[in-house]
Structure 1
Amino acid sequence: MVQQLTDAILRKYKKNWEKFFVVTLTGSVSVGKSTISKQLAQSLERSFPGLTVSIMSVDSFIYPNRVLQERGIFNQKGFPESYDLQALSTKITDLRAGQDQIEIPLYRQEINDIDASQTVIVKRPKILIVEGVTALRLKNADYAIYIDADEKDIYQWFLKRTLAFIRENRQIPGSFYYTLSKKPVTEIMSLIQKTWIQTNLKNLKTYIEPQKSKTDAIIHKKQNHEIDRITFQK
C-alpha cells in the first residue's frame, strides 16, 4: 500500500518539476511514523530514478529538558509549545530558498533529550519528509499524511516500546531509562500508564488528531502494525 501513497505523491511532485517538495507525516506517539517515513523514502527513490529523499524528525526541534523544566512544561513534552516550531520553519525555508544543507540539533531517544554535544547535517534533497507529532504545524507543506490506528492498539505499541527502551538501557547509567529500570515492575507499569493518559493521549486528542481532516492522505494501521487502508482526501 505504500506504493499507492508513493504514486500519489509523485503525481503532485511532477506538477512542479524539480521544485523542492516537502511531505509532512504525523500521528500519535508510537504509531510508527519513523518506520513509515523510511518505507516511503525508499519507495519514492525506487520509483523515480535520480530522486533524492531525506527524512527529518521534528524531535530535533524539541526544547531541551532543562528549558522545559524551567518553563514548567516538562509534563507537556510533545505538545506544540514544547517545540521550537519557528526554528523548524526557518530551516525548511532555508532549504526551499536553495541552501545546500542545514545543521540541526540531535535528539537521542536513549537520553530522552537533545544532545548538546552533537548536531546533524541535512543535505538538500529533492523531497524532504518531515515526521513527528507536530509536523503538520509546518506551513506550506506540499503533501500531508496522517497515520491512524485504534487508541487501544497505540497504547499497546507505546507500552511495548517503552518497556523495550527500559530493557535495552538497564545497564547504561547515563540513560534516561536507567533509573526507571530499577523501580518495581508495578511502579513502572503505573508510570507508563500515567504518561500515556496525562501526556500522550491528551496530546493526541487535543493537538494531533484534530489535524487529520487537513491532510492529503490518512494511513490506517491494524493491530499488528500492518496498513489495512489508505484514504486519499485530496
Structure 2
Amino acid sequence: MSKLADEILKSYKANWEKFYVVAVTGSVAVGKTTIANQLAQDLSQAFPELTTAVISVDAFIFSNQELHDRGLFDKKGFPDSYDLQGLHAAISQFRAGSQNILIPKYSLAANDIAKGEFEKITRPKILIIEGVTALQVRDYDISVYVDADEKLIYQWFLKRTLAFIQAAKNDPASFYYQLSKMPIPQLMPLIEQTWQQTNLKNLKEFIEPTKAQADIIVHKTSKHKTDSIMIR
C-alpha cells in the first residue's frame, strides 16, 4: 500500500464507517487523475470492503454554450467556470445518505459536457474528488495537493496536448480535429498561448493558493515520479 493511501486510512479510521471525502487538486497536467485512481485502487486492495469512487470536477464545469453565454469561455478551467454549487450538492446528497446520484458526463474529446448524458455514482465509503477546483468547495475530510516544478508541468501539458491532437486527426467530432490539420509552427504558438493565458494564470491565481490549506502535499519530479509526500 502506498504512503498516500496509508495516510488517508489513518485519517479515515478516526471516522470509521462515516462517508468520507478526499479532495485531490493541482495544476492542469500534473497527474491528479492518475494519483486519484491509484489511490482508489490502493485503498480497495488494502480493504476490499472499503468501497471507493472517483469523481472529476470536470463533470461540473459549465457547458461551452453556457460559458459563452456567461462571457466566461476564455476563462474555462477557472473557478467561475464551474458549477461549484452543483458539486457541493452532490457531496451533500451522499452525506445525507443518498445511495445513488447522477452527475453530468464530460467528454474529453469534445472538450465539453455531453448534452443529456449522466453518470450514476453509487455511494462509496470514500469518495475521491479530483480536479483543479477540488479544494474550492471545502466539503471534504482530507485534502491532497499535487505539486511539481512549473517547467515540468508545462512539458507534461505540451506532451498531453500534442497527444490529444494526434489522436483526433481522424475524428471530425473531436475538439482537437481542426488543430490536427495545422502545421506545427502554426500550432505551437496557440498551445503556448493557452498555457500562459489560461493554465498558468489559473495555477498562479487560483490553484496554487489552495496549497496552503492542503493536508498532504505530493511532490512529483521528472517522468511523473513522486519524490516526496509531506503530511501536515
Distance apart, 1:223 and its partner CA: 1.4
Give CA deviations for 1:14-68 in whole Å, capped at 9, x if unaligned. Answer: 1111000000000000000110011100111111231000000000000000111
Once residues 214 and 61 of structure 1 are traced to their aligned partners in structure 2, the CA distance between those partners, rounded to angstroms, is 22
Contact 2:91-2:139 at 8 Å conserved across structures: no
Once residues 17 and 221 of structure 1 are traced to their aligned partners in structure 2, the CA distance between those partners, rounded to angstroms, is 30
Residue 4 (structure 1) aligns with: 3
Residue 17 (structure 1) aligns with: 16
Code of the aligned partner of 2:113: I
Once residues 39 and 60 of structure 1 are traced to their aligned partners in structure 2, the CA distance between those partners, rounded to angstroms, is 20
TM-score, normalization by structure 2: 0.98
Distance apart, 1:187 and its partner CA: 1.4
Once residues 212 and 72 of structure 1 are traced to their aligned partners in structure 2, the CA distance between those partners, rounded to angstroms, is 28
Residue 203 (structure 1) aligns with: 202
Residue 159 (structure 1) aligns with: 158
Code of the aligned partner of 2:56: S
Give CA deviations for 1:192-221 in whole Å, capped at 9, x if unaligned. Answer: 000000000000000000110101100000
Residue 42 (structure 1) aligns with: 41
TM-score, normalization by structure 1: 0.97
Q: Does residue 119 of the first structure (1) align with residue 114 of the second (2)?
A: no
Q: Which moved more, 1:3-12 or 1:73-82?
A: 3-12
Give CA deviations for 1:166-202 in whole Å, capped at 9, x if unaligned. Answer: 0001110111000111112111111000000000000
Where 2:146 maps in the other structure, the secondary structure is strand
Q: Does residue 76 of the first structure (1) align with residue 75 of the second (2)?
A: yes
1:1-234 equivalences under 5 Å are: 3-233=2-232
Q: Which moved more, 1:17-26 or 1:46-55?
A: 46-55
Q: CA RMSD in A?
A: 0.9
Code of the aligned partner of 1:119: F
Distance apart, 1:139 and its partner CA: 2.0
Where 1:136 maps in the other structure, the secondary structure is coil
Once residues 80 and 30 of structure 1 are traced to their aligned partners in structure 2, the CA distance between those partners, rounded to angstroms, is 17
Where 2:118 maps in the other structure, the secondary structure is strand
Q: Which moved more, 1:188-197 or 1:47-56?
A: 47-56
Distance apart, 1:140 and its partner CA: 2.8
- Give the unaligned 5+ runs of structure 2: none
